[in-house]
Amino acid sequence: MHPNPRRGIRLIGGGRCFDQWFFQDRATALKWARWAPLDAIGEHAALLGRRVSSLVRASPSVLLEEICCHFAEPGRSARIVGTMAGKVGDSGRHDPVWDIWAGYWTENRAPLGRLEVAEISDSVVIGHDIGCMATAFALDLRSALPPFFPKLGGEDGMFAAILSRVLPEAYWGVVPHAIIHDRPPRGIEEQPPWLGANEALRAQLLALPARRCGRSDEEAIQDAGSDLTRAVTSAGIGELRQRTLECLGRFVSQWLDHFRRVKDCEIPDAQRARLEGAERQLVLEFIRLCAPGSESPSAAFNWSDFGCQLTDYGRLLQYWPTLFDAARDLRSQGVRLSVGFHDSR
């Protein structure tokens, strides 16, 4: 449980909704945690599928410090399509630099850079652009949701991006407790680039128009697929590259603003040095991407393949409602499906 929980609901747009603490090792993190018996399934069920308006009316209070303007839009009928919890243990990130700059909000900054972390919300949170992380607990199966992008990594952010385009009224609910997140076996890994293919794809998905307009879930997903396929096929590689760089430039600006805010605070010299190193890496990667004839810092990514990946995902979105219905019919007949992804390379 959060050490200082609050009653009520926070209404946010997206991004950070957890308080964070960092630890030297797993044992210290688990010893720190405030354990309590609770009805975990009941807490998620109390949010899942509900209209945001009914949750707000039933809440003892609405915490207004981070409220997103989208909640005030007339005619928006927001509903909770998925829920998640916080986590104690592995941060789920391959690169601890993410934890370092997020550590601006932590109470214990001494061991920053470790992968053992606690991330817990101090209240129930409702947001419309929260990354669907490993602690996602439940989905509202009354809605046809778009598919995850089948490779690259960072699928959580891409799913949040496409969901915000096809179902603008689809929101996530976050409960104020955490589950243990075990670390998978890992070898020695290279630090991933800030601006890899996954960020480029997320930028393109966020640039799609939100075309709900009274359409069904299935029609909205198909529309997004048509928009994405059309945007790629109507443009040459040069135009696609330019549009993607413009979208990535907005990401870079937001991240640099985060870095500046953190550096304006009193932080340890070691953290400042790591932060400045990450800032330099981000800027250099973006400069390299903008250079004529450049490719992503990721060796597995080039602009031609990127265009093909976007087109393939657009087609998958167009066919997804048909595949979704076929899978549902088979499941109703007792047939369990096992779906794999084949990389032609």
Burial 160-196 (b: 16+ CB within 10 A, else e): bbbbbbbbbbbbbbbbbbbbebeeeeeeeeeebbbbb
pLDDT in tens, 252-306: 888 888 778 777 777 677 777 777 887 888 888 888 888 877 665 555 567 777 8
pLDDT in tens, 210-224: 766 778 888 889 999
Assess if residue 343 is contained within a domain. no
Contact at 8 Å (CB) between 232 and 270? no
Q: Does the pLDDT of residue 109 top 60, yes or no?
A: no
Q: Which domain holds residue 320?
A: 9-183+191-330
Assess if residue 335 is contained within a domain. no
pLDDT in tens, 36-90: 898 988 989 999 988 888 888 888 888 776 677 766 666 567 888 889 899 898 7
Q: Amino acid identity of 205?
A: L
Assess if residue 340 is contained within a domain. no
Assess if residue 339 is contained within a domain. no
Assess if residue 4 is contained within a domain. no
> Given pLDDT bands bounded at 50, 70 and 90, which one contains residue 318?
very high
Assess if residue 299 is contained within a domain. yes
Q: Does the pLDDT of residue 229 top 70, yes or no?
A: yes
Q: Does the pLDDT of residue 337 top 50, yes or no?
A: yes
pTM comes to 0.76
Q: Indicate the number of domains in the chain.
A: 1
Alpha-carbon distance 308 to 54, whole Å? 43
Assess if residue 259 is contained within a domain. yes
pLDDT in tens, 167-197: 877 888 999 999 888 876 554 455 667 777 7
The reported pLDDT for the residue numbered 317 is 92
Assess if residue 269 is contained within a domain. yes
> Given pLDDT bands bounded at 50, 70 and 90, which one contains residue 345?
very low
Alpha-carbon distance 315 to 147, whole Å? 12
Lowest mean pLDDT among 22-36, 135-149, 214-228: 135-149
